Every structure is written in C-alpha cells, then in structure tokens.
C-alpha cells in the first residue's frame, strides 16, 4: 500500500489558486459515483449559512454570529448524562479537589476539536470521509466498527439518562423501558427540525443548553458552594489526601469529557457554512471564527459541569449512607432503601443524585435536576444520532434516503439500550455505566490518531497542515489521553476477578494493540518520520 506516496504525488500535481493547492481535498467531497453527483444528498446541510462580508475588519460580531452553531452542537457531548454523572461522582468522592482535572480536560478537548474543525473547513470533507479515502479496505472497516461501538455506548448512556429523568419527573410511574421508547420517538421528531431551517435547529439546541444552565445553576445557587474552595480546586493542580478512589474518578473525568464520536461530528458540522475553500483568506477566517465559537461553547459547557461538581462537593462530600438515609427518612422520601444503614461513604449516580437533592433541598430541587438531565440526554441523543449518520455515510459511502439512514443508525444504537432497560431496574445501572465508559475509552485512539494524521499531511491540508509545534503537542496530548484511558480500562478489567475474563481480555488486547500500532505507524509518517513506499 503506497497511500502516503500517492498523497505526496497529489500535492505535486495539483495547481495553485490564491496560494492553496486545489487538489481533490480542496473541493467538495468526491461523490461515490457520477450519478450521485447530481443528487441532493445531505443529512444536515440542506441549506448552508451564508457569511456576511466585512472588508478589512480584524473581527466582526456579525461574522461570529454566522459561524455560531456547530461549536455549540459539538459542546453538547461535554454535557451528556455520562459527563453529568462523572461530575457528581467526582464532587461526592473528592469534593472540589478535582475541578482542575475538569478544566485541563476541557482545554485538551478544545485543542482536539480545533483539529476536527480545521479538517472539515479546509478539505470540505469530514473525518469519516477522509478515512474512507485514505485507509485501505480492511483497516477502514475495522475503524468504522470501532467508532460505531463508541457511538452505541454513548447513545445507551444518553437514552438511559433521558429515561431516568422521565422516571424521576413521573415519580416512578414511567418505567425505564417506557422512558427509552418515549426518547426514541421524540428524537425522531426533533431530528427533522432542520427541515424548517438549519438555524432553527441550532437555536433549539441552544435552548436545551440554556435549560441545562438554568437547571444546574438553580441547584448551585440553592446549595451555595464555598467559592474559595471552588477556585482553589480549579486552579491548584493537587489533590491532598486522595487515594485510589479519587484517582479513578480523575481518570473517569478525562474519559467522560473527551469522546471519540465528537471528533467525527465536529468535522462534519463545520461544513454547514458557505466558505470558498479555494480562497485561502476565507479558509483562514473560517478557522479563526470556528475556534472562537468553540472556545465560547466549551466555556459554557465547563461552567455547567462546574455547577454540578460544586453542588455535590458542597452538599455530599464525605457524607455516609446512614446520614443520607436519616435525612431522607425525616423528609418522608419513599427512596430511603437506596441508602443502606452503614457508615460507608455515599455513592451516587444521576438517579440517586436526584433523590439526595430532593431529600436535602426539597422536591423542587429533585424535579429541576430531572429537567436538566432530560435536556442533557435529549440534546446529546440527537447529536449522537447525527454522529452515527455522518460516520456511516463517510465510511460506507451510503446513498440512502434521509429517513432510511436515520432509522438504521437509530436502530443500531437503540436495540441494546432497550434490552438493558427491560431487564434492569433503574437502581442498578451503575455497573453498566462503568462498562460503557470503558468501551468508549477503548475507542478513543480511533478518533484521535486519524485526526492528527490527516491534519498533519500537507497533501490533504495544504498550507493549513499542522506545524511542528502542533505535531509535537498534538502527539503528546493524544498519547497522554490514550494512556489515561488505558489505565481506566486496566483498573476496570482487574476488578472483574475472573480468570476467564482475564484471558479473553488478553486475547482482545493483542488484536486491539496491533491495530492501534498500525494507525500509529501511519500517523508517524504523517508527522514526518522517514518512510519508503514499501513501508506501508
């Protein structure tokens, strides 16, 4: 396979226009066949948002507004029920001490999202489409299956988050499986909102983010966290008196924040703006405004995450089960049996989190919490479905009708969720959530390695390829994030206490590491390692 040599040849043969090589990657993604070229084919871009002119202006709020949308849709993955659960658990287990981990994770996430946005803007193709054109058939199919697994895992958490919220809001009248069915139905309805205009769809997502900010902000004001401790926890990178539990929680925060499917999603969402990619100035400007918008969006998501951590850090850090049981008993809560009469430290998830808030701060706190979780689950479920469509279309070159694609991607993700909801009750989902977090941690290299590879290749990115600084820092960041997530996986596997599972995990690890090594090898060549055409 001489794919790297081919890429370099492409660059040499391609003409220049306004300083940009106009090879196949500088024009709209090539269609699967000549017939498909004339067909309107889109999941999300039946209209493109025009960008207003502003001659010789260094910065324009009108332009920023035109570019605003994709970053906020991307930021929803930082606010999904898995993240909210990670937040409340870190607050209850470590107080304010791990807020700096959340801050660093969000900054790393922003830098990785910058790479994804640049790939989409410069090439006019999203990451799955570029993978489809650059990797040979077998690695491409394996990569697609791995990313699809990550999307299924994420979707299960999001849909179950919605179902838990509906269960809390209905005081247990809507069972878990009923909540899942409701979520499936309304997701289909909302997914067709973009028929009424792309900006209306983006505004709807903005509304859901606002609901989360108001809901969790209300809890924050109600609990009145210690601001000094909060700032200390955010800016002092140290965790005094922390043990294995807090370390695991810190690793969990990194795993929850940086999600593989979100890299694919963001590279696709930026294609919704009208940018002349043959004009270097316009491409550079689009990259600048998308980065500013992503920074604002992730700052908002960071604040919402901080609200959740702070509420549980202030109210429930070092609380024992017996204390919570007594408080719930005193307020007449029907859920006292969730908290056994022992002195073990309180362990919470998004369901128990709502219950303890209701016990300590009244029913309003419980219902407002549930509304926030519902908004988080509903919004992330929709963006997860978009991710599924982009990934499937890009890797498999699907040319199906819009409804058929939504139905297929939804069914793949929803079937296991429904089975879990039918056979598990709402109080016993923590084990499944741990497994899903591990599943997504394992898939991280399959988004991070390709995005660094392709944004470093001049044959794809032309003048916008990563410089030496970005190559080195990007490589170190990705290595660090993957190492942290692998630690999380090892801790989980060693806690299973089963020889059969150990052997199975070892066998899977060999195949997994071999494929990661293959992707890393190609990435190293893209980063500038010497190679010959025969190497690959």
pLDDT in tens, 279-313: 899 999 999 999 999 999 999 999 999 999 999 99
pLDDT tens-digit profile of 309-327? 999 999 999 899 999 999 9
* Within a domain: 475: no
* Within a domain: 469: no
C-alpha 72, offset from chain centre: 12
pLDDT confidence of residue 38:
37
Q: How many angstroms separate the first and last alpha carbons of the chain?
A: 5
* Within a domain: 12: no
pLDDT confidence of residue 417:
80
Collapsed DSSP state (helix, strand, coil) of residue 160? helix
For tokens 């990194």, the residue is 254
Sign of CA dihedral 484, 79, 411, 199: negative
What is the distance between the alpha carbons of residues 363 and 354, in angstroms, rounded to a whole number?
9
What total of structural domains would you count in the chain? 1
Residues in the chain: 536
Would you state the torsion angle of the CA atoms of residues 389, 395, 396, 399, taken in this order, to the nearest 10 degrees? 50
What is the distance between the alpha carbons of residues 392 and 132, in angstroms, rounded to a whole number?
10
What is the distance between the alpha carbons of residues 174 and 400, in angstroms, rounded to a whole number?
35
Collapsed DSSP state (helix, strand, coil) of residue 20? strand
Kindly provide the b/e burial profile for residues 8-37, where b requires at least 16 CB atoms within 10 angstroms of the residue's own CB. Answer: eebbeebeeeeebbebbbbeebeeeeeeee
pLDDT confidence of residue 45:
59
Range of the domain at 393: 61-444
For tokens 């709807």, the residue is 204
pLDDT tens-digit profile of 145-170? 999 888 888 888 888 889 899 999 99
What is the distance between the alpha carbons of residues 117 and 269, in angstroms, rounded to a whole number?
8
pLDDT confidence of residue 491:
82
* Within a domain: 528: no
State the pLDDT confidence band at 37, using cuts at 50, 70 and 90: very low
Query: Are 451 and 127 in contact, with CB atoms under 8 Å apart?
Result: yes
Complete DSSP assignment for 352-402: HHHHHHHHHH-HHHHHHHHHHHHHHHHHHHHHHHHHHHHHHHHHH-----H
Q: Which residue has the higher pLDDT, 442 or 17?
A: 442
For tokens 């990178």, the residue is 237
Identify the CATH number of the domain in which residue 320 sits.
1.10.4160.10
Residue 456 pLDDT exceeds 90: yes
Q: Which residue has the higher pLDDT, 268 or 255?
A: 268
Residue 1 pLDDT exceeds 80: no
* Within a domain: 47: no
Residue 106 pLDDT exceeds 50: yes
Stated as kind and residue range, the H or E segment containing 17 is strand 16-17
- CA 387-203-45 angle, to 5 degrees, is 45
What is the distance between the alpha carbons of residues 301 and 287, in angstroms, rounded to a whole number?
21
* Within a domain: 521: no
Burial class (CB in 10 A: 0-12, 13-18, 19+), 85: buried
* Within a domain: 453: no
For tokens 């993957």, the residue is 482
Q: Which residue has the higher pLDDT, 474 or 18?
A: 474
What is the distance between the alpha carbons of residues 55 and 368, in angstroms, rounded to a whole number?
47
Q: Which residues are within 8 A (CB) of 179 and not within 5 positions of it... i.e. 6 or more apart? A: 162, 163, 164, 165, 166, 167, 421
DSSP 120: H
Stretch 60-66: mean pLDDT: 92
What is the distance between the alpha carbons of residues 298 and 78, in angstroms, rounded to a whole number?
8
What is the distance between the alpha carbons of residues 99 and 302, in angstroms, rounded to a whole number?
10
* Within a domain: 118: yes
DSSP 21: E
């Amino acid at each position: 396979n001489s794919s790297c040599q081919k890429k370099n040849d492409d660059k040499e043969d391609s003409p220049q226009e306004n300083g940009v090589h106009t090879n196949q990657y500088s024009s709209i993604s090539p269609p699967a066949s000549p017939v498909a070229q004339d067909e309107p084919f889109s999941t999300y871009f039946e209209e493109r948002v025009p960008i207003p002119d502003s001659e010789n202006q260094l910065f324009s709020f009108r332009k920023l507004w035109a570019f605003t949308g994709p970053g906020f849709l991307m930021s929803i993955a930082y606010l999904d029920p898995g993240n909210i659960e990670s937040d409340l658990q870190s607050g209850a287990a470590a107080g304010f001490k791990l807020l700096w981990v959340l801050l660093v994770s969000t900054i790393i996430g922003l830098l990785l999202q910058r790479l994804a946005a640049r790939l989409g803007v410069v090439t006019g193709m999203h990451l799955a489409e570029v993978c489809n054109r650059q990797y040979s058939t077998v690695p491409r199919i394996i990569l697609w299956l791995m990313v699809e697994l990550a999307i299924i895992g994420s979707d299960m958490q999001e849909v179950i988050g919605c179902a838990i919220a509906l269960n809390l809001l209905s005081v247990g009248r809507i069972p878990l499986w009923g909540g899942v069915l409701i979520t499936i139905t309304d997701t289909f309805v909302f997914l067709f909102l973009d028929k009424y205009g792309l900006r209306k769809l983006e505004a709807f997502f903005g509304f859901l983010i606002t609901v989360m900010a108001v809901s969790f902000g209300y809890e924050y004001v109600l609990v009145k966290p210690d601001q000094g401790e909060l700032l200390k926890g955010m800016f002092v990178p140290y965790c005094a008196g922390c043990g294995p539990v807090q370390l695991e929680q810190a690793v969990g925060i990194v795993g929850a924040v940086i999600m593989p499917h979100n890299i694919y999603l963001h590279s696709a969402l930026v294609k919704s703006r009208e940018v002349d990619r043959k004009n270097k100035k316009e491409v550079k400007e689009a990259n600048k405004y998308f980065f500013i918008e992503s920074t604002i969006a992730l700052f908002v998501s960071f604040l919402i995450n901080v609200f959740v951590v702070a509420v549980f850090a202030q109210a429930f850090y070092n609380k024992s089960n017996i204390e919570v049981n007594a408080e719930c008993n005193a307020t007449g809560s029907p859920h006292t049996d969730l908290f056994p009469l022992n002195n073990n430290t309180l362990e919470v998830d998004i369901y128990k989190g709502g219950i303890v808030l209701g016990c300590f701060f009244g029913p309003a706190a419980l219902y407002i919490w549930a509304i926030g979780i519902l908004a988080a689950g509903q919004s992330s479920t929709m963006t997860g479905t978009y991710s599924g469509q982009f990934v499937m279309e890009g890797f498999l070159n699907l040319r199906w009708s819009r409804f058929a694609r939504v139905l297929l991607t939804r069914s793949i993700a929803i079937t296991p969720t429904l089975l879990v909801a039918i056979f598990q009750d709402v109080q016993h989902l923590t084990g499944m959530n741990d497994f899903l977090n591990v599943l997504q941690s394992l898939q991280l290299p399959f988004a991070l390695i390709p995005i660094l590879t392709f944004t470093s290749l001049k044959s794809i990115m032309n003048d916008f390829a990563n410089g030496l600084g970005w190559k080195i820092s990007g490589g170190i960041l990705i290595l660090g994030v993957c190492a942290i997530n692998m630690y999380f996986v090892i801790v989980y596997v060693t806690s299973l206490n089963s020889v059969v599972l150990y052997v199975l995990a070892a066998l899977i690890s060999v195949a997994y590491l071999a494929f990661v090594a293959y992707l890393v090898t190609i990435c190293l060549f893209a980063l500038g390692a010497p190679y010959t055409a025969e190497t690959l």
